[in-house]
Every structure is written in structure tokens, then in C-alpha cells.
Amino acid sequence: MNYRYNIFEINYKKLNLQRIKLTKIRKDMEEKNQVEKKVILSGIQPSGKLHIGHLTGAIKNWVKLQQEYECFYTIVDLHAITVKQNPAELRRRTLETAALFIACGVNPEISTLFIQSFVPEHTQLAWVLNCFTGMGECSRMTQFKDKSAAHSENINIGLFSYPVLMAADILLYQTDLVPVGEDQKQHLELTRNLAQRFNFHYSDTFKIPEPYIEKVGARVMSLQEPSKKMSKSDDNDKATIFLSDTDEEIKSKIKRAVTDSDSVVKMSNEKMGISNLMTLYHIAKNMSFDDIEKEFAGKGYGVFKSAVADAVADYIRPVREKYLDLMNNKKYLEELLTAGAEKARKRAFKTLRKVYKKIGFVQF
Ligand code: ATP
Ligand code: LTN
């Protein structure tokens, strides 16, 4: 009896030791995986209300990728001030933007959510990168040309070096992938060039990031001028479906969307208005373009627009409801943004320190 009891005790101890060993191995592996997870960074300016283009062009992909990658999503308020902003509105929109990220499915427990101006390393690295960027490079940027035409009274140096600050946002985190809409491709190209230039001068310092641009939804067009991209700063409210719009507002905007004098529902470069509505329907219903063409063959634009209006209203409704809920809990938002910035700073500081050392700044 005694003997049996002893054997059992020895085995138990052994088992326990093994369990401790296994837990340690599992923990080590988890940590290793964490370190090895590829990094994503992306951002949106709090310069206006977010619209359906932000969801389909950027945030939808952020949500899709957040399990597989280590993600940093930022509200780029420093970028927003390159055009005139009302201070109270900027403050409010910054929180609204954070709430909308979460309402669209960004999980703050998995992804790091932060406000750009909370992390001073962004402007610090931007300054260094400014000294490696040619005037010609910035003047070629389409967004600079468009924005300086739209804000001719305020063509400031911040607007000019906007893409350099964006490069700093990305390079600070040793980012692998940048999910953005089609219009940001050129800025990404400049980011890659700057990283390669710096690495060439001073040895490997920055990861060279890749853009991640989905084909469908990467460029949602204005409902009123379908040759222009849908924009939060459009003067015409009817051109844009905001994520905070009510069902009635969404339906009315879609029913009034500019189309053409034809009546055939078909994807075509000559039918930008209809193609844009088909893209929205495709996203909201997850239906192929062929099936959409078949469903509406011979039915005319009236029936089609009504179906798009209902589908998009159904698609946006849960986002709006979650957003309104979050806006009633500002303390929660503020806390998670503060925690996000702390985490972001740890990573950003490591890169900035390396950069400062390489360019010859005295280190203490
Ligand atoms: P603005 O309209 O004020 O000039 P913006 O909306 O282009 O600004 P951001 O708010 O910073 O600029 O854009 C954030 C992200 O949303 C970017 O990845 C951008 O490519 C994407 N995005 C913006 N508009 C659209 C759109 N119409 N279709 C698809 N993606 C878009
Ligand atoms: N310029 C971007 C916003 C932006 C961004 C970034 C996007 C600023 N910094 C870093 C991706 C990564 C725009 O969409 N207008």
C-alpha cells in the first residue's frame, strides 16, 4: 500500500515537472510567434466624417488582416492640419474616427489603435526623412497637386511634405504591409524609395513596406460626379455616403445618384455612375458582377437603384448603431487610445533611436 502510494507520488512530481516544461516551451513559442508576426500600419485623417469609401478601400481590409498580422491603426491628426481645421471640430472628429474604426470591426484588444500626435516620434522621424527627400519628389505627388488646387489660399509646407510624414508613420513601425485605397499608391512608392535611400546610405535600418490594395472597393466614386473619388471633404453632401448617415439619408442619396441616359445595368468605363452603384451593391450583398447584371437585366435603373439603396442601408446600419453606442462612452475610447499610444511609442522609439545613432546624433 505504502509502496504504491510512493510510486504515485514520484509519478505525480515527474508529471508536474513535465507540465511546467511544456508550459514554458508553449510560452516561448507564443512569444516567438508574436515577435515574428508581420506588421501592418495604416491611418486615416480626422479631417471629416468617414464614408463608405473608407470602409471598402481601407478599414474592411484592416479588419480582415488583424488576426494574422500585428496591426497599428492610427488617426493621423498631424496630417489633417495640412488643411485648415476648426480646433473643436478636429478634437471631436478624432474621437469619432476612433469610434468608427471600432464600429467597422477593428478590435482594440488585438490591434493597436492610437492618435498620431500622441507619438512624437512621427514628427521626429519625418524631419530626418525631409532631409533625404528632393523638392521634385514632393512636387510630383498627385495629392499635393489636387489639394493645392483645392486650397489655393493655403499651400503650406506641411501640405508639401505630407507624404514624408506618411513615410515616417510607416517606417517607424518596421511595417511589412500598408492597406490603403488606390489613391495612396504614389505615397507608398515614395515611402519605399526613402527607405531604400536611407538603407543604402547607412546600412539596413528600415523594412521596405508593400502596399495592400484590393481591386474592388479601392476607389468608390462620388455619387454626384462619378469621375471623381468619393471624398469626405466634398462640398456636396449628396455625393458621399457617410458611415453615420441614417437609412433615409443613404437611400435618398443613392436614389438621386447621377447615372446616364441608358437603362442597362452593366460594368463599363462609359457607365461610371452605374459601375459605382454596382460596386456598392457587390460589396453590400457579396454578389458577383455577372450575377448583378443578370438580376437586373431589362429592369431599368429605378428598380436597380432601389435595390442598391436597401442593400447599402442594411450594410451600414450595424456600423452606425455601434458607432453611436461608442460615442456615448468617450471615457472608454480615451483610455484605449492612451494605452494604444503607449504601445506604439515603445516600437516607434526603437526605430528612431537606431536612425539617430546612424546619422551621427550623440546618444546618451
Ligand atoms: P480627403 O477626402 O479629406 O482628401 P481622404 O478621405 O482621401 O481625404 P483619408 O481620410 O486619409 O483621406 O483616407 C484614408 C483611407 O481611405 C486611404 O487609404 C484612402 O485611400 C481610403 N479612401 C479614401 N477615399 C476613398 C474612396 N473614395 N474609395 C476608396 N478608398 C478611399
Ligand atoms: N495619406 C493617407 C493617410 C495616411 C496613411 C498613413 C495611410 C497617413 N499616414 C500611413 C497609411 C499609412 C490618406 O489616405 N490620405
pLDDT at 217: 75
Ligand 2 centroid distance, CA of 188 (Å): 9
Q: Which residues contact 61 (CB under 8 A, 6 or more apart)?
A: 179, 212, 214
**Burial grade of 68 (CB within 10 A; 0-12, 13-18, 19 or more):** exposed
- The C-alpha cell at 258 is 447621377
pLDDT at 297: 94
Which amino acid is located at 145 in the chain? K
Other CB atoms within a 10 A radius of the CB of residue 108 amount to 19
> What's this model's pTM, rounded to 2 decimal places?
0.86
Element (H, E) at 179: strand 177-179
Dist CA 195 CA 206 (whole Å): 6
Q: For ligand 2, atom 12, which residue shows the shortest CA distance?
A: 42
Ligand 2 centroid distance, CA of 168 (Å): 11
DSSP for 34-57, written as a single string: HHHS-EEEEEE--SS--BHHHIII
- 232 is an active site residue: yes
Among 105, 140, 45, 12, residue whose Cα is nearest residue 318: 105
Return the CA Rg of the chain. 25
Q: Which of 38, 64, 232, 354 is catalytic?
A: 232
Which amino acid is located at 204 in the chain? D
Report the b/e string of 293-315 with b at 16+ CB within 10 A: eeebeeeebeebbebbbbbbbeb
pLDDT at 249: 97
Q: Which residues contact 217 (CB under 8 A, 6 or more apart)?
A: 53, 56, 57, 60, 279, 283
Dist CA 199 CA 316 (whole Å): 44
Cβ of 167 below 6 Å from ligand 2: no
| Nearest-atom index, ligand 2, CA of 76 | 8
Phi, psi dihedrals of residue 179, rounded to the nearest 5°: -80, 115
Other CB atoms within a 10 A radius of the CB of residue 337 amount to 20
pLDDT at 181: 83
> Contact 74/116 with Cβ under 8 angstroms?
yes
- The C-alpha cell at 334 is 480615451
The per-residue pLDDT for range 258-277, each reduced to its tens digit, is 999 889 999 999 999 999 99
CB-defined site of ligand 1, < 6 Å:
44-45, 47-48, 53-54, 56-58, 180-181, 183-184, 218-220, 229-233
Dist CA 294 CA 337 (whole Å): 46
- 229 is an active site residue: yes
Digitized pLDDT (tens) for each residue of the chain, 364 residues in all: 444 445 455 555 665 666 666 666 666 666 655 567 999 999 999 998 999 999 998 899 999 999 999 999 999 999 999 999 999 999 999 999 999 999 999 999 999 999 999 999 999 999 999 999 999 999 999 999 999 998 899 999 999 999 999 999 999 999 999 998 888 999 999 999 999 999 999 999 999 999 999 887 778 999 999 999 998 878 899 999 999 999 999 999 999 999 998 899 999 999 999 999 999 999 999 999 999 999 999 999 999 999 999 999 999 999 999 999 999 999 999 999 999 999 999 999 999 999 999 999 998 7
pLDDT at 364: 76
pLDDT at 239: 97
Which CATH topology does 29-218+331-359 take? Rossmann fold (3.40.50)
pLDDT at 1: 43
Left, alpha or beta for 203 (phi > 0: left; psi -120 to 50: alpha)? left
pLDDT at 9: 54
What dihedral angle (degrees, nearest 10) is formed by the CA atoms of 10, 16, 20, 26?
120
pLDDT at 256: 96
Cβ of 122 below 6 Å from ligand 2: no
Q: Angle 305-309-314 (CA atoms, 0-180°, nearest 5)?
A: 150
Q: Taking each helix axis from N to C terminus, what angle separates 185-202 and 142-150, rounded to the nearest 10 degrees? A: 130
pLDDT at 3: 44
pLDDT at 201: 96
Q: For a substitution probing ligand 1, which of 49, 54, 56 has the most ligand atoms within 8 Å of its CB? A: 54
Dist CA 199 CA 298 (whole Å): 59
Other CB atoms within a 10 A radius of the CB of residue 340 amount to 23
Q: Sign of the C-alpha dihedral, residues 76, 77, 82, 86? A: positive
- The C-alpha cell at 181 is 485605397
pLDDT at 31: 60
pLDDT at 11: 58
Domain boundaries, the chain: 29-218+331-359, 237-326
Which CATH number is 237-326 given?
1.10.240.10
